């Protein structure tokens, strides 16, 4: 492919930049735009892998490290910021500030640990051990849409704490999850999940009233996204072929 690794490197850079932008939007009081940037980061993350494979060049350790750093920002630090910073209904969240800080730090730390493992060893396998960080970030966004902003099911700090903690732990449990590539059973459901999330967030930017068609459409799109994420977590491990056992005997 003409251009070598440059197109893939630019996609990696874009992934990291949208993650930084998401953090800025959270701090500026617009978590919905932050969520939208995180979802766009999933697109750039998939694009850089596609472009790297299209280049025909052997895998690069430097590119793998750069990809993990960008992922750490977009799918670790940015989602953690969504948990820690609350500019909407601040008084509702302030009694839970300390546990939210702890869960936010844990989410970022486990995401980074997950990515360090992938960079050093996990990349050698055809599947993930533990839920991948993009899917974890997407799961957290769906959780926040229903219980934080716009709180379709009502503001519920305790459910956010418990759900975010479970999502964080899912990234490091020794359970296999599939990579979303061509031919994967969950490829199109996960694409539909990301698209539904984008539609929901874009509609919510217009602050529709609760009885408007736009609000109901955003709610429906969010429900589709939540179902897609649940499908990945519930069905995904069963679509992964068992890894061959590692031999412990010495060759003759």
Share of the chain above pLDDT 70, in %: 94
pTM: 0.92
Distance of CA 141 to the CA centre of its chain: 8
Give the separation between CA 11 and CA 9, rounded to whole angstroms.
5
Domain parsing of the chain, residue ranges: 6-239
Q: What value does the mean pLDDT of the chain take?
A: 91
Encode pLDDT of 45-79 as tens digits.
989 888 887 877 777 778 889 999 999 999 999 99
Q: Are 115 and 72 in contact (CB under 8 A)?
A: yes
Measure the CA–CA gap between 180 and 236, rounded to whole angstroms. Answer: 10
Share of the chain above pLDDT 90, in %: 73
Read off the pLDDT band of 144 (50, 70, 90). very high
User: Is residue 245 scored above 70 in pLDDT?
Assistant: no
CB 55 within 8 A of CB 4: yes
Is the model more confident about 117 or about 62?
Answer: 117
Q: pLDDT of 170-207, one tens digit each?
A: 999 999 999 887 778 888 899 999 999 999 999 999 99
Closest CA to 214 of 138, 222, 89: 222
End-to-end, the C-alpha distance of the chain in Å comes to: 44
pLDDT at 252 over 50: no
């Amino acid at each position: 492919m003409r251009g070598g690794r440059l197109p893939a490197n630019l996609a990696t850079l874009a992934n990291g930049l949208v993650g930084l932008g998401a953090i800025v939007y959270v701090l500026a009081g617009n978590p919905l735009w932050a969520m939208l940037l995180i979802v766009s980061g999933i697109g750039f993350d998939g694009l850089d892998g596609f472009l790297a494979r299209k280049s025909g060049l052997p895998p690069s350790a430097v590119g793998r490290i750069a990809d993990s750093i960008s992922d750490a920002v977009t799918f670790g630090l940015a989602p953690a910021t969504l948990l820690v910073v609350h500019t909407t209904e601040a008084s509702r969240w302030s009694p839970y500030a300390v546990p939210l800080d702890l869960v936010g730090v844990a989410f970022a730390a486990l995401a980074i640990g997950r990515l360090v493992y992938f960079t050093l060893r996990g990349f050698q396998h055809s599947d993930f051990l533990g839920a991948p960080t993009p899917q974890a970030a997407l799961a957290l966004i769906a959780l926040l849409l229903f219980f934080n902003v716009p709180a379709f099911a009502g503001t519920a700090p305790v459910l956010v704490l418990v759900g975010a903690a479970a999502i964080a732990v899912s990234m490091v449990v020794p359970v296999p999850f599939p990579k979303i590539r061509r031919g994967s059973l969950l490829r199109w459901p996960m694409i539909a999940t990301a698209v539904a999330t984008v539609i929901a967030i874009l509609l919510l930017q217009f602050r529709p009233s609760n009885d408007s068609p736009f609000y109901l459409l955003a709610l429906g799109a969010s429900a589709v996204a939540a179902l897609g994420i649940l499908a990945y977590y519930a069905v995904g491990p069963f679509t992964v072929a068992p890894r061959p056992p590692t031999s412990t005997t010495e060759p003759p």
